[in-house]
Structure 1
Amino acid sequence: MAPEVAPKIAFEAVSRDFAAPDGSRFTALDRFSLAVADGEFVTVVGPSGCGKSTAMAIAAGLTPPSGGRVLVDGRAVRGPGPDRGVIFQQYALFPWLTVRRNVEFGLEIAGRPRAERRAVADHFIDLVGLTPFAEALPKTLSGGMKQRCAIARAYAVNPAILLMDEPFGALDALTRVGLQDQLLDTWSRERRTVMFITHDVEEAVYLASRVVVMAARPGRLHSVIAVDLPYPRTEEMRLSSHFAALRNRVWRAVYHPDRPEEAPTC
């Protein structure tokens, strides 16, 4: 029998409490457990207040848990680290730096030589389709281009894990669909482990191998739904009846979590 492979990320009964304005305590995340495999693309959906962003912040080392722990490669997360890249809905680019200099920034902080920084940055700028804009300032870019720059910057420091908190949430629908395909193309070539938070059920199904559905008050795991669609994902898949059935299953889990699950129709 082959030895069991340890997960890349493991949430072990993770809880997080916060203080309310009136001095009371409330539970944002309640005994959340999840294992994510190395190289897996997992999406997380659920209603507002279900603890999605709290779980990601704990995995990133930005927020400590009140109970339980998160393990990365079997080691407990104690704080931020270069093994985890974080991408938020806000692009967080330095407005006075060009696209290339933004992508190089983490490498510069790490003390990498200038020629190496340039080569690595140019590789990822090309990977996200921004080579013609390498010398452009963020103010001249569209929202989608800014987010692609943020993704290239996260990849450039070579994290094993990408934690993405609604990175496409502020974009128009057409740009969003294009960036979903761009992200999957980049992921297929680099195969980093991705945990991607979204409010968009269709986006969750299109991107992931598994969709994690969370329930609110307090935030907890509701279900994990496997997406049995092969990669690369295509427009034909998005328009298929099987995709619609998967989307509907996730939709019911998010918006009607107390209803018994219906039998699959395909």
Structure 2
Amino acid sequence: MSPKISFRDVVKTYPMKNTTFTALGQVSLDIGDREFVAVVGPSGCGKSTLLSMVAGLVEPTSGTVTVDGAPVAGPGPDRGVIFQQYALFPWLTVRGNVEFGLKLAHVPAAERRRRAEHAIELVGLADFADALPKTLSGGMKQRCAIARAYAVDPEVLLMDEPFGALDALTRVQLQDQLLDTWTQERRTVLFITHDVDEAVYLAGRVVVMAARPGRVHRIIDVDLPYPRTEEIRLSTEFARIRNDVWTQVYHQSPAGSAA
């Protein structure tokens, strides 16, 4: 079966004064349909650049990035992007924010309302559909952003540190909410995070990146069953995988040296 997302020999460079900075160097990676993949690594390893390439916001200097075998040529409704910043319109209600992308796509009003209500229900905000963003907590704002992405019915969800600005308790609650939603409506998820525990808890595979230049250092399978529970988070197997990922992230050999 062909991969849903594919990176092939991807290089990304940026011009600098009298030199060139290589953000990504020869990255090759396949992500399967409906797979949940988390990417972790040290700062500057190119995690967000990878995601931005799939979103169509950044072009590779060389190599190819494809979705369903077609080269990414720009943003598209088949890919929903969720950033750390909520980017909600403050004058629109939760429902209005969730419907916004559908309105741009000229979806008829009745269908727009149906799809928005379904997405709002999925993320547990049905009681707040008529609330303005200023009345919502940070976690609720992020759930609204997730609902907005779901409403346009993307095949791929691209999530760049979506819970990074939240407190620890809200972060754990939204991790569970995300997995509940993903279990109900399986989509391909590429999830960027600095949090090793979060990566292991959410993903079926964890891609560990190395920096200077950014490259795939190791891919670790997370052989833990879904649905993920508090018992799994506290299990010895979770701790073993978490320690393996942690070691790969924070005890890497310098670029260019032997592994």
Task: Tell me if 1:97 matches 2:92.
Answer: yes
CA–CA distance in 2 between the matches of 1:84 and 1:176?
Answer: 23
CA distance in 2, matches of 1:139, 1:25: 43
1:35 paired with 2:30, answer yes
What is the DSSP-based 3-state SS (H/G/I as helix, E as strand, rest coil) of the residue aligned with 2:63? strand
1:205 to 197, 200, 203: 200
Counterpart AA for 2:236: S
Select the residue among 40, 44, 49 that pairs with 2:44.
Answer: 49
Q: Superposition pairs for residues 103-252 of structure 1, below 5 Å?
A: 103-252=98-247
1:7 aligned to 2:23?
Answer: no
TM-score (norm 2): 0.97
Seq. identity, %: 70
Give 1:24 shift.
2.2
Moved over 4 A (4+): none
RMSD of Structure 2 on Structure 1 (CA)? 1.2
SS in 2 for 1:152: helix
Partner amino acid for 1:223? R
Residue 255 in structure 1 maps to residue 246 in structure 2: no
Gapped runs of 5+ residues in structure 2? Answer: none
**1:24 & 1:89 partners in 2: Cα distance?**
31
State the Cα distance separating 1:258 from its structure 2 match.
2.4
Give deviations 1:171-221, integer Å, cap 9, x for gaps: 000000000000000000110000000000000000000000000011000
Q: Which residue is equivalent to 1:264?
A: none
Give per-residue Cα distances to partners, 1:221-241, cap 9 Å, x unaligned: 000000000100000000001
Structure 2 counterpart SS, 1:69: strand
**Paired residue for 2:72?**
77
Displacement, 1:23? 4.3
AA in 1 matched with 2:198: E
**How many pairs does the alignment contain?**
256
The aligned amino acid for 2:129 is A
Distance in 1 separating the partners of 2:181 and 2:174: 10
| Structure 1 unaligned blocks of 5 or more | 262-266
Give 2:181's aligned amino acid: T
**CA displacement at 1:108 relative to structure 2:** 0.5
Residue 16 of structure 1: aligned partner: 12
Secondary structure of the structure 2 residue equivalent to 1:44: strand
